[in-house]
Amino acid sequence: MSDAYHGPLERIDDHRWRIPRSYKPGMRVDGLIYADRALVEAIKQDKSPEQVANVACLPGIVRYSLAMPDIHWGYGFCIGGVAATDPAQGGVISPGGVGYDINCGVRLIRTNLTFADVKPRLQALVDTLFKTVPCGVGKGGIVKFNKSELRELMSEGSPFVVRRGLGWQSDIECTEAHGRIADAEPGLVSERALERGSDQCGTLGSGNHFLEVQVVEKVDDAQAAAAMGLVEGGVTVMIHSGSRGLGYQVCEDALKALHNVPEKYGIDLPDKQLVCAPVDSPEGRQYLGAMRAAANFAWCNRQIMTHLARQAFADLFGQPAERLGMHLVYDVAHNIAKMEPYEVDGRTCELCVHRKGATRAFPPGHPELPARYRTVGQPVLVPGDMGRASYVLVGQPGAMEHTFGSSCHGAGRRMSRGAAIRASKGRSIHRELLDRGVFARARGRTGLEEEQPDAYKDVVQVVSVLHSAGISRRVAKLRPVGVIKG
């Protein structure tokens, strides 16, 4: 296959594979991919390992260019890529290491409801959610913001919308970074980006974004599950979305603005999609300021959808969301770059950690965790596919030691959207999902076909690699029963 990877992959142990820095000129560190033997065979079918090697050429990169087991080809960085750069050593920030959908992420809401409560009304519940939570290409939101309010929202993040009655204080406590990255600069977000985001805060969007009603099928870690309020048979809601058109435009603007910047700083890149700037340069600071603003927008987006989901449940079940126990378990970003402290060669350094299709996974005792999770570790939310399962994990000490506090973000695609549509010809994905006990609604004509279960790797394999490697530990398996998509 012309798209296959033919370079070296040296097995280190049962869950790690090395691309040696000797593989190609310019590599400053080794590449390191987390996978088992079966996953590696699938991973080699596209050029994503080549992208891992290319990222290893970035100035200031520390330790490794990393990839999680849900790795697949992306723009610049692979999806599932993690790289930390040291600004003190000329480390760079690369928009390709964040992605177009800035702060695409996942949040999980638990409830007091059981599947026995929901099953007789499942179709009505999915229909109510479909009507209440805007989804689909170009679909505008119920809550509108003018440009001045948008800038304030991008500066303050989740607390801005919670103050407006669109959430609970506990939501902020259980959101990564409390739903706000400091030093966001909304003034650096273009007018075009503001226009695109003006009516999209509180909307699901399309593609692989979803809102899913799930049942806790199995608990593997009773202590961590109890801290999260998860019990077998309990109903949960998972929301996956990002910064919509605003974040996409911020990325597009940055790629244009940075086009000639590597040459200015004498940076030689193996792939133009890795366009970058030193973190401490004016150009690097400008991208970071705008990216942080888009990230805060994304947290507000998911927060408003949480409010709308609570409304839908309250309307259908005739009880306030508080009585239904619809508390946020956690919200994690998986397309972001953040400054975080790590020990490198015996000294503590503030590193720029790129996570592109990867989730933060801080271990027990980490000072950034809410008190309720301090003894069990940070919840890590890993969506699977519409027909099988998703997982809740918790971060482990191995993540801080080996992966810059990072874990996987999902099952990972194994088919392009076009290939998935072709593979669904003559089939009814809606009927196939019903046969698996999943009621699905989609706004777009090909939404279910593009995101069919066969388009994804088996999330069980992906999660098992990181569980065995001591990066993140399994807590609970969540089975989908209802899905809405764009």
Cα angle, residue 465 at apex, residues 462 and 468 outer, rounded to 5°: 145
Instruction: Give the DSSP letter of residue 95.
Output: G
Give the chain's radius of gyration (CA, Å).
21
CA 425 to each of CA 399, 421, 455: distance values in angstroms, whole numbers, following the listed order? 42, 7, 14
409 tagged catalytic: yes
- What letters, b where the CB count within 10 A reaches 16 and e where it falls short, cover 165-195? ebbbeebbebbbbbbbbeebbbebbbeebbe
290 and 278 Cβ atoms separated by less than 8 Å: no
Q: What gap in Å lies between CA 73 and CA 255, rounded to an integer? A: 19
6 and 35 Cβ atoms separated by less than 8 Å: no
Q: Specify which residues 11 forms β-bridges with.
A: 17
Q: What gap in Å lies between CA 16 and CA 5, rounded to an integer? A: 17
Structure tokens that stand for 462 in this block: 């992906």
92 and 277 Cβ atoms separated by less than 8 Å: yes
CA 385 to each of CA 233, 380, 454: distance values in angstroms, whole numbers, following the listed order? 19, 16, 9
The residue assigned the tokens 């809550």 is 143
From 15, 72, 409, 467, the catalytic residue: 409
Tell me if residue 72 falls in helix, strand or coil.
strand
* Catalytic residue annotation: 409
